[in-house]
Structure 1
Amino acid sequence: MNPYNTPTPAPAPSHPWWKTTPAVLGLLALVALLSAFSLALGFLVMIAAMVAVWVLSPWRWFTRIGATLGALLLLTVGVGLGGQLDDRRTGPANAKAADHVRASGKAVSASPTASRPANAADYTGRPLDEAEKDARSAGYTAVNHDAAVEDRMIILRSGWTVCFQESDAAGKTIDFAAVRTSEPCPEKDGGPLPWPKMPDVVGATYNKAVEDLKQAGLDLDRVTLDDVYLDIDTPTAAEAAQDGDDWRVCFQSPDEGAKVDSATTVTLDLGQWTDADLVQRCPSKKDTTYKIPANDPAYDSGDGNDGSGSGSGTTDRDSAAPHRDSSSSSGGSTGGGTSVGTVHPGSFCSPAGAAGVSSAGTPMVCGPGSDGRNRWHRA
């Protein structure tokens, strides 16, 4: 064989540079470098390095596994170096700040106050839902519980009111103790509800009774009124207050000393009289006495005819002499019925067909009302 005629072997095929071993190793080294500055960026580069190791590199499988574990180690090392770099960057500033605090007496004395977290705002007396909303807006985590000893579950927060609060400024948490809006706050968290007790207002004028109820802590909006006369309509609170010294409390519910909680209804039964009235005392029980005696079906007219008057029954009324208005002196009849004088429109009456006049002079007749019972109405 002629050595000069021996063919030259073909060169080995070359790989692109990004598939070469130095390129893959450089990418792995970049993982540690970038993760020292940003964990997210270092993680993305590590993913790219894994793709290069398992797809692009000509390494064997055990070499690729070793490169994968090395990439994870480099990421961890880079993150650790990044933390040290952060400490070094902030260290001199902290040292300078400490030197400045030690050099200034004012700074030393003021630093504890400056570093102390601000206290939470005072939310007592506010609706629970609003208090929790504002506390969360201030960065606090709000929880709640029943301020009463019953330890009830709070469901509808808008119907509860904050009585007490306990906050942790450092932990940014606040605990609200609340009761239902219609309830009074206990003296301390977890104590019994201090429900007011019913005072004795029987015999007092309406004005005096209102003052006593207020002093006892009762809500006047929960007080209902009734009348004790058969022929007088129940006054409204405004009407009773307008003539508050003429209306007297004849009966009350509940009795004196009873606890008035959110489920208790307070009722005052009122009678009205002035110095001009012959009946100036409370009856023995409700719905037995007529304010105007002539409205009583058993009222004795005293006309001397048969002594029977307009009825034969008796009622529990004042023992003073019967009083009649001049309009009842005719003793005649209107529309075939007995005339009983001045009557109160809308009050009960008897017998059906009896006639009378209102205090304004309007002719009235006794007949069935909307409830089926005989009442005075316009003739």
Structure 2
Amino acid sequence: MNPYNSPTPVPAPSHPWWKTTPALLGLLALVALLSAFSLALGFLVMIAAVVAVWVLSPWRWFARICATFGALLLLTVGAGLGGQLDDSGTGKADAKTGDEVRASGKAVSVSPSASRPAKAADYTGRPLNEAEKEARSAGYAAINHDAADEDRVIILRSGWTVCFQSSDAAAKTIDFAAVRSSEPCPERDGGPLPWPKMPNVVGATYNKAVEDLKQAGVDLDRVTLDDVYLDIDTPTAEEAAEDGDDWRVCFQSPDKGTMADSATTVRLDLGQWTDADLVRHCPSEKDTTYKIPANDPDYDDDSDSDSSTDRDSTAPHSDSSSSGSSTGGGTSVGTVHPGSFCSPPGATGVSRAGTPMVCGPGSDGRNRWHSA
């Protein structure tokens, strides 16, 4: 073949500029830029970028998938940096004005005139996110800070409550001082949180203890109950309130004068007795004493005498109406707890519900109270 007569090589066709890789990457970068100013506009550009990646780009399939996820990530980052994801709005106070409002600590008075700006509404007691949203709707640029002396950074505004506010009607700025929703407001902006202190309720009836705790400002939802006797079940709050004058506080936690903040659990250890009970005082320690002595497995009614007359005269339950009389060969011990250990065999009693009970061998072979 004559090289001088060979055909001239044809150059490979080039892609239009909008199908090139730099153009597509620029479109993806535009997603982050526009979403910082408008979430809706950024979203539309992201859709256009994804379509261009899948229709126009010469990339392989895995590169297209990565670009699609990248576009979504750029939309989120751009919107977050621009404040578009904040439900309280996009308005921001400039740094100089914000510093002036924070330093002053109070609203700047404006001389009366016909064109005097409207005073900002009172948002104290409102959730911070709602207060900022309404303030921005009224044309104010809102900033915020911790109302307590802890200088904490406020992240989730819906979990904070406005305690104080200071505004500049002329500059249309407002500064909110807030605390967490579970916390009380301090007496002044930047002051310590005034957590309630535990009162002394040991020895008080349950009703009186609840009244004292409520008056001290302790959250009753954080109060738990426990019993002090081995043979008495812990009452629920409803059961304790129903017989509130029969239940008495033997121990409390935390002690008197201790700060009870939002993380503190208050425990009241209760004992129950009436005038008919054998034991009518708190034990020296929890879970060491039986309210009904006959429920004690080591209880022995005839340790001091061989005669029933002597037993009746020395037994701690000598009251014939509740726990001291011997009838039909058995000893009546008054109110007992079903299933508890008992002694001596054949002794009788009644449950709190009035069911006749008798002391006898249980399923484990030990003497326990069961229905007669």
TM category, shorter: 0.5 to 0.7
Percent same amino acid at aligned positions? Answer: 77
Q: Distance in 2 between matches of 1:188 and 1:152?
A: 16
Q: Secondary structure at the match of 2:225?
A: strand
RMSD of the TM alignment (CA)?
3.6
1:321–1:327 Cα change, 3 Å: closer
- Superposed displacement of residue 281, structure 1: 0.8
- Superposed displacement of residue 151, structure 1: 0.9
Structure 1 partner of 2:121 = 121
Structure 2 partner of 1:361 = 355
- Superposed displacement of residue 378, structure 1: 7.0
Structure 1 partner of 2:317 = 322
1:154–1:300 Cα change, 3 Å: same
Deviations 1:273-326 (A, max 9, x none): 22222211111011122222222222223398989xxxxxxxxxxx98236648
Structure 2 partner of 1:265 = 265
Within-5 A mapping of 1:16-55: none
Q: Distance in 1 between matches of 2:145 and 2:306?
A: 76
Contact 1:206 1:248 in 2 (8 A): yes
Within-5 A mapping of 1:70-219: 112-219=112-219
| 1:137 partner letter | S
Contact 1:350 1:366 in 2 (8 A): no
- Superposed displacement of residue 253, structure 1: 0.7
Q: Distance in 1 between matches of 2:361 and 2:137?
A: 68
| 2:200 partner letter | D
| 1:273 partner letter | W
Within-5 A mapping of 1:284-303: 284-302=284-302
1:330–1:160 Cα change, 3 Å: farther
Q: Distance in 2 between matches of 1:136 and 1:328?
A: 83
Contact 2:186 2:192 in 1 (8 A): yes
| 2:156 partner letter | L
Structure 2 partner of 1:280 = 280
Structure 1 partner of 2:222 = 222
Contact 1:198 1:255 in 2 (8 A): yes
Deviations 1:57-90 (A, max 9, x none): xxxxxxxxxxxxxxxxxxxxxxxxxxxxxxxxxx
Deviations 1:180-205 (A, max 9, x none): 12211111111111111111111112
Q: Secondary structure at the match of 2:221?
A: helix
Within-5 A mapping of 1:334-353: 343-345=336-338, 348-349=340-341
Deviations 1:151-206 (A, max 9, x none): 11222222221111112222222211111122111111111111111111111122
Q: Distance in 2 between matches of 1:206 and 1:160?
A: 34
1:257–1:375 Cα change, 3 Å: farther
Q: Secondary structure at the match of 1:240?
A: helix
Deviations 1:5-49 (A, max 9, x none): xxxxxxxxxxxxxxxxxxxxxxxxxxxxxxxxxxxxxxxxxxxxx
Q: After superposing the two structures, state which structure 1 stretch, 260-269 or 135-144, moved more.
A: 135-144
Q: Distance in 1 between matches of 2:165 and 2:127?
A: 13
| 1:349 partner letter | F
Say how many residue pairs are matched: 248
Structure 1 partner of 2:47 = none
Q: Distance in 2 between matches of 1:135 and 1:160?
A: 16
Q: Distance in 1 between matches of 2:189 and 2:147?
A: 5
1:345–1:166 Cα change, 3 Å: farther
| 1:155 partner letter | I
Contact 1:294 1:341 in 2 (8 A): no
Contact 1:164 1:189 in 2 (8 A): yes
Structure 2: which 5+ residue stretches go unaligned? 1-110, 308-313
Q: Secondary structure at the match of 1:115?
A: coil
Structure with max Cα Rg? 1
Contact 1:224 1:266 in 2 (8 A): yes
Q: Distance in 1 between matches of 2:363 and 2:182?
A: 42
- Superposed displacement of residue 265, structure 1: 1.2
Contact 2:183 2:193 in 1 (8 A): yes
Q: Secondary structure at the match of 1:241?
A: helix
Contact 1:231 1:344 in 2 (8 A): yes
Contact 1:143 1:174 in 2 (8 A): yes
Structure 2 partner of 1:87 = none
Q: Distance in 2 between matches of 1:228 and 1:261?
A: 26
| 2:176 partner letter | F
Structure 2 partner of 1:78 = none
Q: Distance in 1 between matches of 2:346 and 2:168?
A: 78
| 2:317 partner letter | P
Structure 1: which 5+ residue stretches go unaligned? 1-110, 308-318, 333-337
